[in-house]
Amino acid sequence: MAALGRRPGRFFVEAAPLILSRSSADSITVHTPAKVNLFFEVLAKRDDGFHEIDTIMCPIDVYDTLLFHDDRSGRIQLTCERASGPLCSTSDSCRATDSGLPTGQDNLVVRAIELLQREAGVAGGASVRLIKRIPIASGLGGGSSDAAAALVAGNAVWRLGLDWGTLARLASRLGSDVPFFLAGGAAVCRGRGERIEPIAGLSGWHLVVARPSQGLSTAAVYRRCRPAERPRSHELLREAFDRGDVAGAGHRLFNRLQAPASALSPWIDEMAARFTRLDLPGHVMSGSGTSYFGLCRHAGHARRVARGLYASGIGSVFAARTCRN
């Protein structure tokens, strides 16, 4: 992965696959990916205050790094850094800086570790270092991905032996997107996101992703969203991907949250207008925004489009690829 630092924002060309590596008996490193929503329909408002959704999510090769060390004192200590350099397990070559993120219970990583402690009866604690590359408040799932990584790391370092189903149930208590990052790849997610159906055939597709300087509140976007009276189906999109039909898939990208998000942030319509002027099979907002992505024909196409967007000073721009996490 290469970084160009000539102006604010980051331009990542590519990244290594997800790596879980144990550096010692009591520590582990997890590289944990971002995601995009290729399809997002809102079906109904639930009695519990959440929304019933139908979405296709896919991990992309842009990663945060979580370094988890056992702490026998029982305390949980978290430090957060923002990196603008290549994917790595320490900040010596990352050029990491203060992230400005909370390091207490306002951080989902801390809440994930505390939940695992309570449910598994763990007496030990953890010293955790989080290196952020995934933009925050962007619809790319960085916080949820980090929380899933914390569950996986704690399960490994504390030798709990919890199975996938148990971890997924814990993940669903932390947030709607967290269970997805335990699925291992693309998936159809239903309910409020916790009902997961893994799907094949969605790795290796090339994207360009742009995230402007302004983020959005997921809760605020959902408050403006009205569930569909006649919901769209994701089946035609899945069929296009199954055929390898990039043009057909591009025409069927969809996000019900894009309209309410555009009412809250002028960046959404600005992004849509810019992407429409580009040579792309299709484009759409990811999650609750403000990140916006376009489907590309191949790696060279993604790099070319990303360079053009980056040169315009739009913010953080990624040439990415869908992958297994």
pTM reported for the whole predicted model: 0.90
| Tokens matching residue 56 | 């296709």
- Which helix (DSSP H) or strand (DSSP E) does residue 146 occupy? helix 142-157
Q: Which of 132, 164, 198 is the last residue of a domain?
A: 198
Per the domain annotation, does 220 fall within a domain? yes
Per the domain annotation, does 215 fall within a domain? yes
Cα separation, 179 vs 195, whole angstroms = 8
Per the domain annotation, does 25 fall within a domain? yes
Cα separation, 193 vs 179, whole angstroms = 8
Could you tell me if 184 and 210 lie in one domain? Answer: no
Per the domain annotation, does 3 fall within a domain? no
Active site residue 177: yes
| 22 vs 3, more confident | 22
Buried residues in 58-88 as b, exposed as e (16+ CB within 10 A): bbbbbbbbbbbbbbeeeebebebbbbbbbbb
Could you tell me if 232 and 190 lie in one domain? Answer: no
Could you tell me if 157 and 288 lie in one domain? Answer: no
Could you tell me if 130 and 273 lie in one domain? Answer: no
Q: Which of 47-56, 92-101, 162-171 has the lowest mean pLDDT?
A: 92-101
Report the CATH number at residue 28: 3.30.230.10
- Is the model's pLDDT at 112 over the cut of 60? yes
- 108-120 vs 164-174: helix crossing angle, rounded to 10: 130
Note the residue count of the chain: 325
Could you tell me if 76 and 176 lie in one domain? Answer: yes
| Strand 187-191 relative to strand 97-98, pairing | unpaired
Per the domain annotation, does 152 fall within a domain? yes
Could you tell me if 42 and 179 lie in one domain? Answer: yes
Could you tell me if 33 and 123 lie in one domain? Answer: yes
Q: How many domains does the chain have?
A: 2
- Which is the catalytic residue, given 71, 177, 242, 279? 177
| Strand 292-296 relative to strand 206-211, pairing | antiparallel
Report the CATH number at residue 236: 3.30.70.890
Could you tell me if 40 and 181 lie in one domain? Answer: yes
Q: Are 302 and 204 in contact (CB under 8 A)?
A: no
Residue found under tokens 């992965």: 1
Per the domain annotation, does 12 fall within a domain? no
Per the domain annotation, does 99 fall within a domain? yes
Per the domain annotation, does 6 fall within a domain? no
Q: Domain of residue 252: give its range.
A: 206-321
- What are residue 136's phi and psi, to 5 degrees? -85, 160
- Which is the catalytic residue, given 35, 54, 70, 132? 35
Q: Tell me the per-residue pLDDT of 122-160, one tens digit each, with 9 for 90 and over.
A: 999 999 999 999 999 899 999 999 999 999 999 999 999
Residues 163-175 have a mean pLDDT of 94
Helices assigned H by DSSP within 186-314: 218-224, 235-243, 246-251, 258-264, 266-276, 299-311
Could you tell me if 211 and 192 lie in one domain? Answer: no
Q: Which of 145, 172, 198 is the last residue of a domain?
A: 198
Could you tell me if 139 and 222 lie in one domain? Answer: no
Band (1; pLDDT cuts 50, 70, 90): very low
One-letter amino acid identity for 311?
A: A
Query: Radius of gyration of the chain from Cα atoms?
Result: 19
Q: Which of 151, 178, 198 is the last residue of a domain?
A: 198
DSSP 8-state secondary structure symbol assigned to residue 213: S
Could you tell me if 171 and 227 lie in one domain? Answer: no
Could you tell me if 81 and 153 lie in one domain? Answer: yes
Three-state secondary-structure class, residue 288: coil
Q: Tell me the per-residue pLDDT of 281-297, one tens digit each, with 9 for 90 and over.
A: 999 999 999 999 999 99
